[in-house]
Amino acid sequence: MEIKLLTLQTAQLETMKEFYTECLGFSLRGESPNAFQIQVGTSILEFIDENVAGTPYYHFAFNIPSNQFQEAKAWLKGKTTLLLEDGEDEADFSFWPAHACYFEDPSGNIVELIARYRENPMKESPFSVNHILNISEIGLVVKDAPKVGEQLKAINIFESDNEPITHSSLHFMQENKNGVFIILTSVGRRWLFSEKKSEIFPLKITLDKAVLGVNEQNEFFINNRL
């Protein structure tokens, strides 16, 4: 499973474009009056401002080289403010294993850089935005997580720990162990490194084999591409 294209809503299109391209240095892949796209390694991240209701926010993550976490963290710290959890500005996920750090963009998205030590390759040259590998995670917030979990299983996307899917937990859904996940959850779960809780907002996730997401009526949809 790869996230080819991730489409998210924003109420601050121009501010977001400036932040991601001028502050962080991502390459602008394309733009229109109501959208822009940036290249995130092998993935594309798109923000749109059509039919936006309220101030949507999401949690998503970028994979970085397995040997460059501290470099990447220092790079990020020079450009924006790192978020804290219990006074710490990084997370040690010993069970993956991985290290991660977080920031909030102008739309209030909780964005993560994560170095996965088993899955992510190494890089030898000094870290830059061009070393970001791909979109690693996207939080998929739905009304009925167990029901959506069954729909994901039908296209061979399974709970990574083979745990039953509940309304109250975060479930890391994946097809294979390549460090790319859809984080399935219901409303009201607090995102790490933030006081924000999971809410349903429209989004579209284009995978290598299917398109899925949440429509403007806050309903989950899934379409096989093949």
Supply the pLDDT for residue 225.
Answer: 58
Q: Residue 201 has what pLDDT?
A: 98
C-alpha of 48 from chain center:
16
**Gap between the Cα atoms of 181 and 177, Å rounded:** 9
pLDDT of residue 176: 85
78 torsion bin: left (phi>0), alpha (psi -120 to 50), beta (else): alpha
Nearest to 103 by CA among 93, 86, 90: 90
| pTM of the complete model | 0.96
Q: What is the pLDDT of residue 209?
A: 87
Calculate ∠ Cα 69-70-76, nearest 5°.
Answer: 90
pLDDT of 226 reads 44
Q: What is the pLDDT tens value at each position of the chain, 226 positions in all?
A: 999 999 999 999 999 999 999 999 999 999 999 999 999 999 999 999 999 999 999 999 999 999 999 999 999 999 999 999 999 999 999 999 999 999 999 999 999 999 999 999 999 999 999 999 999 999 999 999 999 999 999 999 999 988 999 998 999 999 988 999 999 999 999 999 999 999 999 999 999 989 999 999 999 999 965 4
Q: Give the Cα-Cα-Cα angle 59, 61, 66 (nearest 5 degrees).
A: 155
CA distance 15 to 19: 6
